[in-house]
Chains A and B, each alone.
Chain A
Amino acid sequence: MEAELLLFRDAPVDVASIFAAHHLGLVRLALLMVGDLATAEDVVQEAFARTHAGRGRLRDPASVLAYIRSAVLNQCRSVLRRRATVFRKALPYDPPVWSAESSVLLGEERREVLLALRDLPRRQREALVLRYYLDLSDQEIAETMGIGASTVRSTIARGLAALGRALGEKA
């Protein structure tokens, strides 16, 4: 990455450096939400552009990463909404990460879990990914998703239960 391109001297918070440092993690997070790498990269790029455009409003360095994750999640939601619209008119899209092809890479067992996760309601899916992929605390998840910490706990509990049912396990 050309670091000099990503330096914004007038930025109250150095959004570019934070994105650069967390680029891989953010793309992986987006991948788990949208399913394919190309879209995940686009999501992060768009989130970067939007966060950078609004960087003047970012004053608290401690909350910037949560803000950025929120931006990525919001972009993922937009992508999924657009796909839902397309689904009504076209053949279903089969994203690679949970597609049959990915079972070669990940194994059928992993694919089964990812498919069950994909079918959960959006809020449960996001909370579970933030907890079990990023290992975020209840409070961090709450900040990222814009919901209360107690809602995070109940959402995760319901999500795990639903996932367990789908996988034929007791959560």
Chain B
Amino acid sequence: MNGVEERLREALGEAAATVRLEDLRPLRAPERARRRFRVDLRWAAAALLAGAAVGGGVTLLPPPAEQSHTAAVQPQHGMTVFFCIERIGALKCRDGAATQEQMNAVRRRLESLPEVQSVTFETPEQAYERFRRTFTDKQRFAKMTVADMSPMFHALLRPGADVRRAQSVVQNMPGVFMAVTTDPDTW
């Protein structure tokens, strides 16, 4: 071993030896990625809620009998706009919960869209009640509480409306977590 190797070995050894076992913080057992799980859960829950809005208690779409035969040609869809809440953990919601002003702006925008026939607001408490009624048998959502629910708008879209356009208009507005439609093509 030449001089450089010897000096290097000694320097590394001494520097490393400044760390002693008793100085170390214990390794923590990895936890489940709660934050990510929360977002995943919410995505799943949101999609389910949006889908369930058709027949789960929210009068989003007319009952089948009221849908004329033209509905087969021009399908009528709904869209649910979920707002940010504090615990959502998504990048889009880094500024925290949506404000009343942001929600009012989204309502005005929705009502101005030619694709939208009507808009209904649902509080987190109402959404939770609907969720609980609809998904009582879903074990993986058993820990969902009312605090996991967003306030949301349900928009009934006109028959044959451009669902994707309506969705794209609102889903990037401030305070919006996401907009989910009942049209599978937009999922």
* Residues of A that sit less than 8 Å from B by CB: 1-2, 5-6, 16, 19-20, 23-24, 27-29, 31-32, 37, 40-41, 44-45, 48-49, 52-53, 97, 102, 105-107, 109-110, 113-114, 117, 128-129, 132-133, 160, 163-164, 167, 169-171
Contacts and interface: CB of A to CB of B under 8 A. Distances in A.
Contacts of A169: 3-4, 7
The 8 closest A-B pairs by CB, nearest first: A113-B11, A28-B16, A5-B29, A133-B12, A110-B11, A49-B30, A164-B4, A1-B26
Interface in B25-83: 25-30
B28 A27 contact: no
A45 B28 contact: yes
B18 A105 contact: yes
Interface of B: 2-5, 7-21, 23-30
Contacts of A28: 16-17, 19
B43 to A, nearest CB: 20
B27 A32 contact: no
A109 B8 contact: no
A23 B15 contact: no
Contacts of A163: 4, 8
Contacts of A48: 27, 30
